[in-house]
Chain A
Amino acid sequence: MSPVIDIRSLNFAYGRVPTLSGIDLQVAEGEFLGIVGPNAGGKSTLLKLILGLLQPQSGSIRVLDCAASAASRLLGYVPQYPSFPRDFPVTVEQVVQLGRLSLDQNGRQRDGKWHALWPGRVSSTDRRAVHRALAEVEAGDISKRQIGSLSGGQLQRVLLARALVGEPRILILDEPTANIDQRMESEIFDLLKALNTRMSILVVSHDVAFISRYVSRVACVNQTLVCHNTDAIDGHVIQEVYGQHVRMIAHGH
């Protein structure tokens, strides 16, 4: 079976600064891949390339057997920082509804040349899907709230629901637990583990030790990319990725 994400000898630079060099990565259907690496090592850039938001200068990137930009509707994305103002006058329900935008009233992806110009109405199928997605992330009780009134953890759940409501084949999360406490972090990863039974998942994290309990493979990104199976991660590998002077705490699985 062909990989859901297939990246070959990809190079990317912002201006004159090379950010990613010679990246090769194949993600199999149903995989739960962790992506770790130092700040400014290119993790988020790699996600944006997979999402088709950035174009590589050279190399190829295929997602679900399409060009990356053509596949983005089949992906669910949870950004690290919400790219909207928190005081925007919109309810949780309306935000999650936006995740259904490319689907018709039967829940199928619209296609054809003019699919994007289809005037939008929220169908009853959409409403049911929004209800389901919010229930799945345990945020059903806040559906009528303004987004500005949510806590960090609640907002993260809403963003996850927005990504799930479009029935993605691959879920991509950028540091989903950076701004929330540890108990919530475990809850979110338990939820991801459950979701992994029906979709492939890529998650960026700065916490190798924590995610290695959940993911099947870890990709270490620091301009280049090296993959490790979870059980092979030890101090040596971590130092290789982050350079010297890493404080490590031993932990058993």
Chain B
Amino acid sequence: MEDFFTALSQHAFLQTAVATAMLASIGCGVMGTYVVVKRIAFIAGGIAHSVLGGMGAALYFGFEPLHGALPAAIAAALLIGWVRLHWHAQEDTLISALWAIGMAVGVLFIAKAPGYQADLMSYLFGNILLVPSESLWLMVTLDLVLLVIVAAYHRQFLAVVFDEEFARLRGVPVGFFYLLLLVLVAVTVVLLIQVVGLILVLALLTLPAAVAGHYVHSLGRMMLIATLLGAVLSITGLALSYGPDLPVGPTIILLVGGVYILSAMLTQFLERRRARLAAAQGARQGAAVE
């Protein structure tokens, strides 16, 4: 760990990596909270994995893969959202089909990409150490767009996430805000792909928010705690992986997953204990009455 902090003060690529982790955490905390409470992790997974199609296409046609990721993520979000809104039958099957088709298209494009054979692994599992510092500006912009939209429409988002039918009756255009929410999830996926790659993105998107949900009970607080947790855990993962030269993405995910499982167990334990104490208290009161 000490090595890491010494190296951090010397190497620009490590400073970029830490900045990437922090910027990604904002999206992870804010949109992850919506994904967790709306229970759309499966939809988010579909969006994340179909992004490979866009990255592959960009590579094939000679663009920067990340520039293909953003439009692909948004297209996947709109397509999957449309399926969810208008195609009620077999929604889960259709989403898994889009999930797999997106990946298949990506792998084919990457296999046939001319010239330099790209490293598939780095798209699938990410490499935060290779993020170019120019990407930071793109990430700052995406974070700002996301925060401005969520700040402006948090009531509409709450209405749609909490109770779609009631939102529709209050005149909220549910379809529009649902798709907007998925597009913002797509933007977040692109931010997080730089940190952990598209296979592991789902864990980083949902687990910090789920841990926050164990302890706080409002969307705003969940967002704040999940953002801080995401930042702390991904930077810790980066630091832990640095000394023994481990791949960063999987290290971060193991850390996040471990924290989630411990937290879920702790919550369960505390709840049982509370129930036991309440039952004991009830029994004492009952005895006192007799």
Does A166 count as interface, using CB distance less than 8 angstroms?
yes
Is A157's beta carbon under 8 Å from chain B? no
> Looking at the complex, which of B159-167, B182-190, B280-288 is the stretch in contact with chain A?
B159-167
B28 interface residue, CB < 8 Å from A? no
Q: Tally chain B residues at the interface, Cβ within 8 Å.
A: 28
Of residues 121 through 144 on chain A, the ones whose CB sits less than 8 Å from some CB of chain B are: 121-122
The answer on a CB contact under 8 Å between A53 and B165 is yes
Number of A residues, CB within 8 Å of B? 33
Distance (Å) between the CB of B1 and the closest chain A CB?
34
Interface check A196, CB cutoff 8 A = no
Q: Which residues of A contact B164 (CB under 8 A)?
A: 83
Q: Are A120 and B154 in contact (CB under 8 A)?
A: yes
Q: Does B170 contact A (CB under 8 A)?
A: yes
In the assembled complex, which residues on chain A have CB atoms less than 8 Å from the CB atom of B154? 120
CB of A7 to closest CB in B, whole Å = 18
Which stretch in B18-26, B80-88, B91-99, B212-220 binds the other chain?
Answer: B212-220
Q: How far is the CA of A95 from the CA of B176 in the complex (A)?
A: 21
Q: Say yes or no for B122: interface residue by CB 8 A criterion.
A: no
Contact B171 A75 (CB under 8 A): no
Within 8 Å of chain A (Cβ to Cβ): is B155? yes
B contact face: mostly helix, strand, loop, or mixed: helix
B173 interface contact, C-beta 8 A: yes
CA distance A51 to B173 in the complex (A): 15
A65-77 interface bits toward B, Cβ cutoff 8 Å, 1 = contact, 0 = none? 0000000110101
Chain A residues with CB below 8 A from B156, complex form: 101, 120
Measured in the bound complex, the distance between the Cα atoms of B170 and A98 in whole Å is 8
* Stretch touching chain B among A26-34, A86-94, A237-245: A86-94
Asked if B172 and A88 make an inter-chain contact with CB atoms under 8 angstroms apart, the answer reads no
Chain A residues near B61 (CB-CB < 8 A)? none
In the assembled complex, A146 has its CB within 8 A of some CB on chain B:
yes
Report the Cα distance A119→B177, complex, angstroms. 12
CA distance A69 to B162 in the complex (A): 21
B7 at the interface (CB under 8 A from A): no
Q: Are B37 and A72 in contact (CB under 8 A)?
A: no
Query: Which among B165, B173, B213 is the interface contact of A83 at CB below 8 angstroms?
Result: B165
Q: Is B169 an interface residue (CB 8 A)?
A: yes
Q: Are B166 and A98 in contact (CB under 8 A)?
A: yes
Which A residues lie within 8 Å of B121 (CB)? none
Q: Are B155 and A77 in contact (CB under 8 A)?
A: no
Measured between beta carbons, the chain B residues less than 8 angstroms from A40 are none
Q: Is A227 an interface residue (CB 8 A)?
A: no
Q: Which residues of B contact A14 (CB under 8 A)?
A: none
Q: List the B side residues contacting A169 at CB < 8 Å.
A: none
Q: Chain A contact residues: over half helix, strand or loop, or mixed?
A: loop
In angstroms, Cα B158 to Cα A94, docked, is 9
B171 and A98 within 8 A (CB): no
In the complex the two chains form, is A120's CB within 8 Å of B168's CB?
no
Cβ-Cβ contact count across A and B, 8 Å cutoff: 83
Please tell me if the beta carbons of A51 and B169 are within 8 angstroms of each other in the complex: yes
Instruction: Assess whether B167 is in contact with A101, with CB atoms less than 8 Å apart.
Output: yes
Also in contact, A99 and B170, with CB within 8 A (given A89-B222, A90-B218) = yes
For A75, give its contact among B153, B165, B169 (CB under 8 Å).
B169
The 8 Å CB contact of B37, one of A89, A98, A102, is A89
CB distance from A208 to the nearest CB of B (A): 27
Which residues of A (79-125) have their CB < 8 Å from a CB of B? 79, 82-85, 88-91, 94-95, 97-99, 101-102, 115-117, 119-122
CA distance A91 to B218 in the complex (A): 8
Once the chains bind, are A53 and B168 in contact (CB under 8 Å)?
yes
When distances are taken between beta carbons in the complex, the residues of chain B under 8 Å from A122 are 155
Flag if B169 contacts A98 (CB, 8 Å): no
Contact B172–A116 (Cβ < 8 Å) = yes
**A73-B171, A83-B166 as given contacts; A98 in contact with B155, CB under 8 Å:** yes
Instruction: List CB contacts (< 8 Å) of B16-63 with chain A.
Output: 37, 39
Contact of B152 with A by CB under 8 A: yes
State which of B153, B155, B167, B218 has its C-beta within 8 Å of the C-beta of A89: B218
Q: Does B166 contact A77, Cβ atoms closer than 8 Å?
A: yes
Cβ proximity bits B124-153 to A, threshold 8 Å, 1 near / 0 not: 000000000000000000000000000011
Contact surface of B with A, Cβ cutoff 8 Å: 37, 39, 152-156, 158-159, 162-173, 176, 213, 216-219, 222
Given contacts A101-B170, A116-B172, 10 further A-B contacts (CB under 8 A): A79-B166, A83-B164, A83-B165, A85-B39, A88-B37, A89-B217, A89-B222, A98-B159, A120-B155, A122-B155
A-B CB proximity, top 9 nearest: A120-B155, A119-B152, A101-B170, A89-B217, A102-B171, A73-B171, A84-B163, A72-B169, A116-B173
13 A-B pairs within 8 Å (CB atoms) are namely A51-B169, A72-B170, A82-B163, A83-B166, A88-B162, A89-B219, A94-B158, A101-B172, A102-B171, A119-B152, A119-B153, A120-B154, A120-B155
